[in-house]
């Protein structure tokens, strides 16, 4: 019996050690899973924020409905994933509310507006390419969407120049206004010649240049009919 006591003691110690290791492994795994969920939750919130910001900015410049629909679907998918990982109704409901109700910002009002739009375009292109890789949209759709976004990129930059040029013209600073209008013309001229909106925008800018020209000749008054 006395010989068996050390064996029993060793067996008990082994059981205790295994139990301790198993318990430690269990809690370590739980902590790792918690940290992974937390990391994924932060990443999803960041992606949702970027998508909703892009959606809001592109609404403000009347982007095609098909592009806005793609962004809306992407935001909804991310919000659903976040709800599965972190079922915090307050956060999820707040994000859903912003996605649906966030009003579009005013159109071009300054450099910040253009930077916001162009950042939205970069985010949107990234999302579209990802959707293409997943087979959610075709390469042809990505190409067509890319053309629309390229036009928005150029037209928003040109609109900034014309916006500032108009203000300068109103304040009598014609030389500076002309410089801004010329920059707008250069930007729009970069658009492909097949772009249907290019010529109309160039015509608008040429008209502004003519209005700002300090040497333009006034049309002579119509002479009265002899009578």
Reference 44, options 92, 101, 2; nearest CA is 92
Same domain? For 121 and 100 the reply is: yes
Distances in whole angstroms, Cα of residue 166 to Cα of each of 22, 148, 176, 211, 214? 74, 26, 10, 10, 14
Same domain? For 115 and 173 the reply is: no
Is there a contact between 181 and 162 (Cβ–Cβ < 8 Å)? yes
Give dist(CA 131, CA 103) in Å, integer: 26
Same domain? For 55 and 132 the reply is: yes
Same domain? For 125 and 190 the reply is: no
Same domain? For 51 and 130 the reply is: yes
Give dist(CA 223, CA 71) in Å, integer: 61
Asked, for residue 50, whether it belongs to a domain, the answer is yes
Averaged pLDDT, 15-19: 88
| Helical packing angle, 111-133 and 65-85, nearest 10° | 70
DSSP state, residue 86: -
Last residue of a domain, one of 137, 154, 175: 137
For residue 224, the model assigns a pLDDT of 44
Any alpha helices (H) in the chain, and if so which ranges? 4-60, 65-85, 89-101, 111-133, 139-170, 174-189, 198-212
Reference 120, options 75, 83, 186; nearest CA is 75
pLDDT above 70 (res 100) = no
Residue-wise pLDDT for 66-76, tens only, equals 999 999 999 98
Same domain? For 133 and 156 the reply is: no
User: What does the longest C-alpha to C-alpha distance in the chain come to?
Assistant: 145
Same domain? For 87 and 113 the reply is: yes
Report long-range pairs for 90-95 (Cβ below 8 Å, ≥24 apart): 91/45, 95/45, 95/48, 95/52
Asked, for residue 47, whether it belongs to a domain, the answer is yes
Asked, for residue 226, whether it belongs to a domain, the answer is no
Asked, for residue 25, whether it belongs to a domain, the answer is no
Asked, for residue 16, whether it belongs to a domain, the answer is no
Residues 6+ apart with CB under 8 A from 148: 63, 64, 67
pTM higher than 0.85, yes or no?
no
Asked, for residue 157, whether it belongs to a domain, the answer is yes
Asked, for residue 6, whether it belongs to a domain, the answer is no
Domain count for the chain: 2
Domain that holds residue 84: 40-137
Asked, for residue 222, whether it belongs to a domain, the answer is no
Last residue of a domain, one of 108, 137, 166: 137
Going by pLDDT thresholds of 50, 70 and 90, the confidence category of residue 208 is: very high
CATH number of the domain residue 199 falls in: 1.20.58
Residue-wise pLDDT for 34-51, tens only, equals 888 888 888 998 999 999
Averaged pLDDT, 193-203: 93
Which sign does the torsion angle of CA 176, 178, 180, 186 carry? negative
Last residue of a domain, one of 137, 168, 193: 137
């Amino acid at each position: 019996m006395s010989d068996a006591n050390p064996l029993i003691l060793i067996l008990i110690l082994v059981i205790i050690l295994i139990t301790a290791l198993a318990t430690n492994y269990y809690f370590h795994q739980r902590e790792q899973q918690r940290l992974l969920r937390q990391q994924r939750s932060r990443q999803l919130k960041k992606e949702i924020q970027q998508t909703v910001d892009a959606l809001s900015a592109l609404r403000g410049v009347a982007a095609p409905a098909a592009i806005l629909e793609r962004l809306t679907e992407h935001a909804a998918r991310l919000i659903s994933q976040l709800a599965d990982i972190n079922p915090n109704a307050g956060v999820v409901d707040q994000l859903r509310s912003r996605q649906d109700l966030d009003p579009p910002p005013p159109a071009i009002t300054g450099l910040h507006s253009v930077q916001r739009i162009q950042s939205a375009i970069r985010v949107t292109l990234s999302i579209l390419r990802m959707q293409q890789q997943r087979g959610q949209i075709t390469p042809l759709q990505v190409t067509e969407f890319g053309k629309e976004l390229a036009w928005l990129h150029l037209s928003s930059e040109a609109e900034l120049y014309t916006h500032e040029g108009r203000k300068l013209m109103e304040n009598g600073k014609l030389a500076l206004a002309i410089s801004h209008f010329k920059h707008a013309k250069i930007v729009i001229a970069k658009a492909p010649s097949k772009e249907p909106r290019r010529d109309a925008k160039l015509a608008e800018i040429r008209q502004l240049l003519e209005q700002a020209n300090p040497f333009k000749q006034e049309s002579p008054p119509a002479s009265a009919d002899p009578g």
